[in-house]
Amino acid sequence: MFNIFKKVLGRTSDAIKEVAPTKKREVLKEDFEEILLEADVTYELIERLLEELPNNINRVQAFNSLVSVFQYKADWKNSDAKPFVEMVIGVNGAGKTTTISKLAYRYQQEGKKVILGAGDTFRAAAIEQLSKWAEKLNIPIVATQQGHDPSAVVYDTIESAKAKDFDNVIIDTAGRLHTQTNLSEELKKMIRVASKAQDGAPHRKMLILDGTQGSSSINQAKVFNEIIGIDGIIITKLDGTAKGGSVLSIADELQMPIFYIGTGENPKDLIRFKANEYINTILDEIFI
């Protein structure tokens, strides 16, 4: 079977080849350190990962060390609620709107009825872009005009989903910078209104992280988590960066589920994140 992670991590693999052009049965600890640094794993994490490893590292030892990063207890926030309400959060440019279309398409393929809520009323372009995706996928959308109250969109979308027996609600939010206090307060209000419209909603708050930002996106994620509590992560644009190792740092720092990886621009370009496959794809470039 074709390894989709090989395509996604193509640029990361190229970066690894530059520092380790020849695959080996064993690599020196200092060489493994250089490879991980090149792939944008944070230095502090590398030091911890190397601590227990011998001076000559084989593939099994390397795998066991890297996979240990993902062995934390993660709450996947699965729920039988109907409709199941997801709120999608992230800064402008992270690929939020495109990711919403991918999630909607995925649920469609599973035979579920989906409705979108254009809760990013801060930018007219966001409403327009999401509406275009909704039309393309033949999915209903609740939208208003720029500057209108996003919490009203949240309420109306959930109420419409309940009335028409929808399975999934996906709500967009403004691409707020965590320094903008007013937007943070608005986000908290949207969450309060969602819970009034349906008990327990939003059932999942998904943070979109731009893979091209690498480990620098961790601080951004921490702030969002402090403000509203993030339930899971989707990493976009990994195929466009050599910073594929940052996934290790993100998992280690945030200790929360990585649900999906974006692999391109089309609605079908979203894959479930699998730690074993991810690590093996990196190690394929290092070991024979």
Enumerate the domain spans of the chain. 4-72, 84-274
Cis bond before residue 83 (omega within 30° of 0): yes
Q: What share of the chain is helix, strand, coil (3-state, %, to 5)?
A: 50, 15, 35
Mean pLDDT of the chain: 94
Span 157-169, pLDDT tens digits: 999 999 999 999 9
- pLDDT of 1: 42
Span 240-264, pLDDT tens digits: 999 999 999 999 999 999 999 998 8
- pLDDT of 88: 97
Q: Which CATH class is domain 84-274?
A: alpha beta
Span 66-112, pLDDT tens digits: 999 999 998 888 899 999 999 999 988 899 999 999 999 999 999 99
DSSP state of 70: G
pLDDT at residue 268 above 50? yes
- pLDDT of 178: 56
User: Rounded to whole angstroms, what are the CA distances from 183 to 10, 90, 122, 202?
Assistant: 36, 12, 9, 18
Q: Return the closest-CA partner of residue 197 out of 107, 85, 116.
A: 85
Q: What is the value of pTM for the model shown?
A: 0.94
Q: Which amino acid is at 62?
A: A
CA angle at 123 for the pair 121 and 124, rounded to the nearest 5°: 90
Given the structure tokens 């708050």, which residue do they identify? Answer: 205
Q: Return d(Cα 249, Cα 231) in angstroms, integer.
A: 17
- pLDDT of 209: 96
